Structure 1
Amino acid sequence: MQLPRLSKLPKLAGIRNSQAKAGLPPGTLIFVGDKVSDKSQVDLIAYNEHEIEEYSSQNTEQIIGRLDKTKVNWVNIDGLHNVDLIEQIGEHFHLHPLLLEDVLNTEHRPKSEDYADHLFFVLKTLYNLTGDSITYEQISFVLGKNYLLSFQEKEGDIFDGFRNRLRQINNNKNRARKKGSDYLFYRLIDTVVDGYYSILEKVGERIEILEDEVYDNPSRATLKKIQQLKKELVFLRKSVYPLREALSKVTKGEYSFIKKDTLPFFSDVYDHTIHVIETVETYRDLVTGVMDMYMTSVSNRMNEVMKVLTVIATIFIPLTFIVGVYGMNFEYIPELSWKYGYFGTWGVMLLICIGMLMYFKRKKWL
């Protein structure tokens, strides 16, 4: 059986851009990835326990001028394709060229790195399951003394709910307003990891649907869906597995920008990541089982067809023998002149058919 071809791997454009960097010195700023938005924008949320201010602009200098050292400054940059904007941000916050190069490369695996006066962290966020594919986006964070930079590929993210909670001034339970940029860093990562659960829930529903489809009516389209889901789980595994290592460095207290009272929160995110990884592995095993079930179902169907054809062929063997005998061109065949020879031959052949069918049924071959 010829298997259907897998769909093209995602982000091939990013791979081509990576090839364009060949031969260039380290730290050369080139955007690597698919351009998913034409708009570039910088948003600033500066807050403390008592007040919060928000600004949005496409002019980096205007946002930089609004930074307040007495507050926590969350600077969010949308549109990684705008290399000049990323470079301006890097110059103001004294970011290393290699760090900026990693920000512009959307093909990076999750990781964390410690620089002299800031912490760099990159991970993948999963938005929703549309059709047969998961929407991926890379988010990079730079954590400093009183600021947090977040770099995103496009406008719109999963942090709107957290932004709304930050705006609640009179909420005494609003821990984020009372803590520093390291706690803000934790809350954003926790939001991303929580988003994994909704995606895994949808993946689990797809597996259940595929199991029913394989059991009831397997087809080539079903096989294509299974292969697509296996590919998505591979990309999901690549997005989550390195995140465990990155968070492990944070929970061990290796970074001076993470306060001791914030470390338990990162340990909680680390536990969630482990649970997500275990769920992904479970789903991979389930999809492999669905694939085996599909192949078994197709094989059983083929065996049923071959069994029916074999029974038909077996029944016709004696009939063909009888017809062959009385089809010979000898002049003196005993039953050739018999008045009821034709009907008698048919009767014998029908009795043979009925007898063989009863025998096959008794042997449970039918």
Structure 2
Amino acid sequence: MSDGDATIEIADDAPAAQTITRSPFARASQSQRRSSRKGLASSRVSERVRGNSRKALMVNDVKHQTKSETRKLERFEQMQLEYFSTRDADVEQTPTPEMHYTVYRNDGGAGTTTTTKNNADSMNLLSKIGKETRKENTIRWLHFNGMNEMMMNYVCDALKLGASAVGGEMDTTKCVFHRHKDAAVRHFDSHVYVSMQLIDREECDGDIPLVSDEQVSFIYHPEKAIVISVCEDVDEESDFTALTRLLVEGESRCNVDGAHPGILLAMMADKFVDDAYPVAEELGDYLEVLSQAMVARESISFSQPVDKVRMQLWRMRRFAIRVRRLCEAYEEDALGVFDDESFKEYVGKVSKQADGLESVCEMYIGRCLSILQRVEVYQEQRTNETLFLLTIVTTLMVPVEFLTGMWGMNFVNMPDLETSWGYFMFLALIPFLMGTSYILLKVNGYLDDSPLDWSCGLGGLFKSKEGKKD
């Protein structure tokens, strides 16, 4: 081999065909192309962000922006860049994926599981799995906590997963690391790729429960009766761990006599939806607390936590919609990969559960909207009361302002200005005219159910304020 080539040895006992030889010049050209694509994508995102920012902040004239508008625009652009970079970014790769290999039986028997935590052991085990032949009533499940491109390529080579997709150009490795916006089902020559999202309960933001979603990829090989699942995060105790215990102990629906291998896919979706219900109920309980607090003491400060809860519910509703679409894709099954009545019946139940989760989220989103409407009504009421109070005070001051303007005119012959009691007469007229104006407004019903609806002058105002405090 020449000095210009680089060889990567996969494992000591791996077959010779698994030795990968690459040229550093080819690798450099690939990185250059990748960086150029990344730069082009970031420039497109930046242009889109700037346009959206100006439209949202109503800043159309770029040349005549104020400093405040410029700061708002920069902050808004930064927020959008973070959002688009997260949404459009590929699945993050893990240097050392953790692999769990579970073999279970669909005739009621128990199974076994093997765990590897380094790349060498995982590759050796994959080589052995690739050489094994399919056994009757035996289904194999490979689960990866985290994944990297080198390991995924080795999985495809060891298990002979066809690279070409039916009606598409994206291969299996790209599908695994591509961030899918919706539930995806892609048919390949030898297998089926399925992508869905998993809702995960995160730490609280203050008292508000937060949720996050991560992508989970599934690969189903019908001929070899093998299912491969790839999860983004490395979590020692997860839904996959609990499901593995059920499969090994022979107590799951997948262990029923004659169960289709695809039942495992439906069972995972069912587990994800079941785990989302408690999170939705927790968000609903928090809304109940906010509603009671709103009844006890109305305030505009409730709008921000309600908006945060609504964002979490939107995310969960989107998860439910994606699960339902995935179930619809399973039921359509254009190529007949999942042609099994029990599988489709199970998928139908999962779809109904997803509909139920969506209904729960919509109910709580409606509750959020009702609380926000109450906050808005309270804010409008406060504004109207303030404006009404200012209007009444202005009306009461009109006679006084009239006298002030009249006696402030510079005429020579104004007899009241030369008397010794003129000033005291003006001071006496102020409460008299204001009281008369108030009585007229009260008699005509303009002060009914208003902050100034008191019966004995200013003393009533103080009493009404004390009553509100109590």
Say yes or no: does 1:45 pair with 2:102. Answer: yes
Contact 1:74/1:148 (<8 A) preserved:
yes
* Cα distance in 2, alignment partners of residues 271 and 351 from structure 1: 74
Distance 1:267 1:87, change over 3 A: same
Summarize the Cα distance change of 1:303–1:263 in structure 2 as closer, same or farther, 3 Å threshold: same
Paired residue secondary structure (1:8): helix
Match of 1:202 among 253, 262, 282: 282
Q: CA deviation at 1:285?
A: 3.8
CA distance 1:39–1:307, shift in 2 (3 Å) = farther
Corresponding residue for residue 151 of structure 1: 230
Structure 2 length normalisation: TM-score?
A: 0.64
CA contact (8 A) 1:251 1:264 kept: no
The partner residue of 1:103 within 170, 176, 191 is 176
Summarize deviations over 1:43-78 as a string: whole Å, max 9, x none.
111122433222222333233255464332111112
CA distance in 1, matches of 2:217, 2:83: 18
- Unaligned runs of 5+ residues in structure 2 are 1-56, 58-71, 164-169, 453-470
Equivalence map 1:1-366=2 (5 Å): 8=79, 12-15=84-87, 17=89, 32-34=90-92, 39-48=96-105, 49-57=108-116, 58-59=118-119, 60-65=122-127, 67=129, 69-70=134-135, 71-80=138-147, 82-93=148-159, 94-96=161-163, 98-129=171-202, 130-131=204-205, 133-145=210-222, 146-156=225-235, 157-168=238-249, 174-178=252-256, 179-211=259-291, 216-219=297-300, 222-252=302-332, 254=334, 255-361=336-442, 362-363=445-446, 364=448, 365=450, 366=452
Specify the SS of the correspondent of 2:249.
Answer: coil
Give the Cα separation in 2 of the matches to 1:280 and 1:64: 42
Q: Which residue of 2 aligns with 1:23?
A: none
Deviating 4+ runs (over 6 angstroms): 4-7
Root-mean-square deviation (Å): 3.2
Q: Give, as a single letter, the amino acid of the residue that structure 1 aligns with 2:186.
A: E
Q: Which runs of 5+ in 1 are unaligned?
A: 18-31
- Cα deviation, 1:329-355, whole Å, max 9, x if unaligned, reads 445433335454333322221122223
**Structure 1 residues 358 and 62, CA gap change in structure 2 (3 angstroms):** farther
Letter in 2 for 1:47: Y
Secondary structure at 1:106's aligned position in 2? coil
Q: CA deviation at 1:14?
A: 4.2
% identical equivalent positions: 15
CA shift, 1:231, in A, is 4.2
Aligned residues between the structures:
345
Comparing both chains, which one has the higher relative contact order based on Cα–Cα distances under 8 Å and sequence gaps of 6 or more? 1
Looking at structure 2, the residues matched to 239 and 212 of structure 1 have their Cα atoms a distance apart, in angstroms, of: 29
Quick one: which amino acid aligns to residue 112 of structure 1?
Answer: V
- Partner amino acid for 1:251? E
**Structure whose CA Rg is larger:** 2
Name the CA distance, whole Å, in 2 between partners of 1:168 and 1:252. 32
Alpha-carbon contact 1:15-1:33 (below 8 Å) kept: no
CA distance in 2, matches of 1:40, 1:8: 32
